[in-house]
Amino acid sequence: MAFIRPRLNDYYNLSFTQSEVDFTIPFLDEDIPLFVDPFLLWKSPSLQDNSLHTSLINCFNNIVSLANQNKEEIASRILRDCSECEEAGLGFSETKKGLKIGKHIIENIIKLFKDIPQIRKNGLIHLEEIQLYIEGMGPDRISDFTCSFLKSFLIDYTIEQSKKYDIPLIKIKSIDVYDYKKHDIVREHDLDLPINPETKKPVLLIPKRWLRKNTWINSDDYFSKFYPEIILKREDKKKINRVDILDYNRKNYDVVQSYIKFKEKIKVDCKNDPLFEPIPIFSTKRILNSILKLSVGREGNADRKYEDYLFKLMASLFYPDLDFAAAQSRTDSGVLIRDLIFYNNRSMDFLKDIFELYKTRQIVFEIKNVKELESEHINQLNRYMANQFGNFGIIITRNRIPKKIFKNTIDLWGGQRKCIIIVNDEDLQIMVSVFESKQRKPIEVVKKKYIEFTRKCPS
Amino acid sequence: MNKEEVESFEKNEAQLRKIYEEMTILSKKKPDDAINEFKLEIINKIIEECNGILKNNKPFKDFKKFDKDLVPSNSDVVVILSQYISCFGKVRSENSVENMVNEFYWLIDNKKSSIRTSRPKQIGYNK
């Protein structure tokens, strides 16, 4: 059984949580579903970020200049090579393997640089606006171009953060870096960088403050909110397709610029997106009430609803002490079982305890929407407790458990030193109550259950 | 009781009553809400001092203080504090004496002292 959604720190057994570090912790077998938004660098109060944005724009405008000096071949090569930055690991790829942009898009970009007089003369102010002219350019490409052009900085940043958090650095043979002085890509050798232990390829750490789910300036936003108001009557909107709009934009540079100015004006609303955003307090209370009203069993899909509610609730309640890994389904003896998996980052003494005593690197919460918990339910979780889960697991169920079941769990500890904690609706109510009042942390309610359990165990 | 014990009694009882009042307000609003660690630490300090004063008159033999890991609620704390207040009343009534004009004085080393005290709420004080 493999580690579920492994991250770089899990592989190296490093205990920091996502909220403690300045960068987004990379996944080992999938990309981080966020993008670097250059607008965040432009609007940042940090002079360093502003300077990096200027460098980024200079790099890109150098390509504009090359295109207009009839050096299309060099411009095309740089565009192609900088269009993918695998080391950053951002986007929606499940294979961590990206593709560079095709010849057709490169030709369109070069053509754009030549065709629009204002761009030909002054270049671009925001790299993201290229999405408003070229089909096939989206936030993923903008993010990759940004990471490629700023790779030199990102390498230094990665080394600094790796040293700070003890992430092992491995000497890598070579890595392609954009050289700001030569305005070309150069191959750097023998750099110390963290590597993805599965692909053996170097990994770059990306500051959280640069990341968004979509770029602030983007074509969807332009099409849905800005373009129709200015150009189209509402009834015409459906008739116009995206390519027509891009074509319109290329011929109406000023309209695009007024959109850019508008987005600059409301820059205060542009914030970075976290990888995980806990739901607000009123939502936790609403979900809890829905759970409490829910019937036990499967009638009316109650089991499925219970699982969905818990998935939303628990990930938020335990944040930032436990990072949520995944909700998963599995079958045990023909029974479908849903689990919630959290990374054990050892962010508090209780979590350190279960890491050391039970070798728990990921915590499994098994969900049971049943009236009364039975021995078979304990056995199902017991069979699953191995590898990264160690000898510790939690069952979330509806009601207090019968004494014989509690004795079962004590006997399991006595015989196999396996610890199964059972959390019910009453505990959920306390968790939501402390989440709301902020008097204690919801994870402390789990700790309480654990301590109550250990006190009943034979010494 | 000696003079130092009387002074300590008065100080701790005042603290106990004040924190009880505060916790009663909280408990009325949210009886099942967990008390935060800071408040619990303060309450535990007061309780530990009270245990030293009450000695064998403690409300429960096996209760020494709250376990913060067991996440006690506001109402848990109110119940325990009210028990301590009752026990303080019992000790006061056993160690005070009333004069002819309904004023109460501490008994120090079993003799009426000049230190006044409040009227014990428990029945059975000395006349």
pLDDT at position A128 is: 94
Chain A hits for B67, Cβ within 8 Å: 451
Per-residue pLDDT averaged across A31-49, rounded?
95
Nearest to A433 among B32, B37, B70 (CB): B32
More confident position, A182 or A235: A182
**A205 in Cβ contact with A251 (< 8 Å):** no
Residue B91 inside a domain? The answer is yes
Q: How far is B32 from chain A (nearest CA, A)?
A: 7
pLDDT at A78 over 70: yes
pLDDT at position A225 is: 78
Strand residue runs (E) in A210-318: 211-212
pLDDT at position B13 is: 92
Nearest to A437 among B33, B67, B70 (CB): B33
The token pair at A447 is: 């700790």
Q: How far is A429 from chain B (nearest CA, A)?
A: 9
Which residue is listed with tokens 């170097």? A202
Per-residue pLDDT averaged across A85-91, rounded?
91
Q: Across the interface, do A437 and B35 touch by the CB < 8 Å criterion?
A: no
Chain A hits for B73, Cβ within 8 Å: 430
Residue B89 inside a domain? The answer is yes
CA A29 – CA A446 distance, rounded (Å): 30
pLDDT at A25 over 90: yes
Q: How far is B100 from chain A (nearest CA, A)?
A: 50
Distances (CA, A) of A150 to A111, A154, A184, A210, B97: 25, 6, 12, 12, 85
pLDDT at position A94 is: 64
- Top residue of A429, A430, A440 to mutate, by most chain B CBs within 10 Å, is A440
Q: Which domains does chain A have, with CATH numbers?
A: 8-269 (no CATH), 281-456 (3.40.91)
Residue B124 inside a domain? The answer is no
Nearest CA in chain A to B68: A448
CA A446 – CA A444 distance, rounded (Å): 5
Percent of chain A whose predicted confidence (pLDDT) is above 90 = 70
Contacts for B38 with CB less than 8 Å, ≥ 6 apart: none
Q: Across the interface, do B34 and A439 touch by the CB < 8 Å criterion?
A: yes
- Top residue of A353, A425, A437 to mutate, by most chain B CBs within 10 Å, is A437
Per-residue pLDDT averaged across A261-276, rounded?
92
Q: Across the interface, do A439 and B69 touch by the CB < 8 Å criterion?
A: no
Classify residue A86 by its DSSP letter.
G
pLDDT at position A109 is: 92
pLDDT at position A229 is: 59
- Contact of B62 with chain A, judged by CB distance below 8 Å, is answered with no
Percent of chain B whose predicted confidence (pLDDT) is above 90 = 57
More confident position, B120 or B83: B83
- Contact of B28 with chain A, judged by CB distance below 8 Å, is answered with no
Q: Across the interface, do B30 and A434 touch by the CB < 8 Å criterion?
A: no
* Tens digits of residue pLDDT in A162-197: 999 999 999 999 999 999 889 999 999 999 999 999
pLDDT at A237 over 60: no
Strand residue runs (E) in A121-230: 170-179, 184-193, 211-212
pLDDT at A236 over 70: no
**A227 in Cβ contact with A139 (< 8 Å):** no
How many Cβ pairs within 8 Å bridge chains A and B?
38
CA A172 – CA A200 distance, rounded (Å): 9
pLDDT at position B2 is: 84
- Closest to A409 (Cα-Cα) out of A433, A386, A392: A392
Q: What is the ipTM score, two decimals?
A: 0.72
Q: How far is B37 from chain A (nearest CA, A)?
A: 7
Nearest CA in chain A to B38: A439
Residue B68 inside a domain? The answer is yes
* Tens digits of residue pLDDT in A100-138: 888 999 999 999 988 899 998 889 999 999 999 998 899
Contacts for B22 with CB less than 8 Å, ≥ 6 apart: none
> Strand, coil or helix: what is A323?
strand
pLDDT at A228 over 90: no
Residue B125 inside a domain? The answer is no
**Could you give the number of structural domains in chain B?**
1
- Closest to A237 (Cα-Cα) out of A249, A224, A252: A224
Q: Across the interface, do B36 and A440 touch by the CB < 8 Å criterion?
A: yes
| Termini Cα distance of chain B | 18
* Tens digits of residue pLDDT in B41-87: 999 999 999 999 998 899 998 999 999 999 999 999 999 999 999 99
Chain A hits for B33, Cβ within 8 Å: 433-434, 437, 439
Distances (CA, A) of A112 to A64, A115, A249, A266: 9, 5, 11, 27
Range of the domain at B20: 3-117
Provide the whole-model pTM: 0.82
- Closest to A136 (Cα-Cα) out of A261, A262, A242, A271: A242
pLDDT at position A406 is: 94
* Tens digits of residue pLDDT in A369-419: 999 999 999 999 999 998 889 999 999 999 999 999 999 999 999 999 999
Interface of A with B in 419-458 (CB under 8 A): 429-430, 433-434, 437, 439-440, 444-445, 447-448, 451-452
Which residue is listed with tokens 């009316």? A300
Contacts for A178 with CB less than 8 Å, ≥ 6 apart: A59, A78, A82, A148, A149, A151, A152, A184, A185, A186
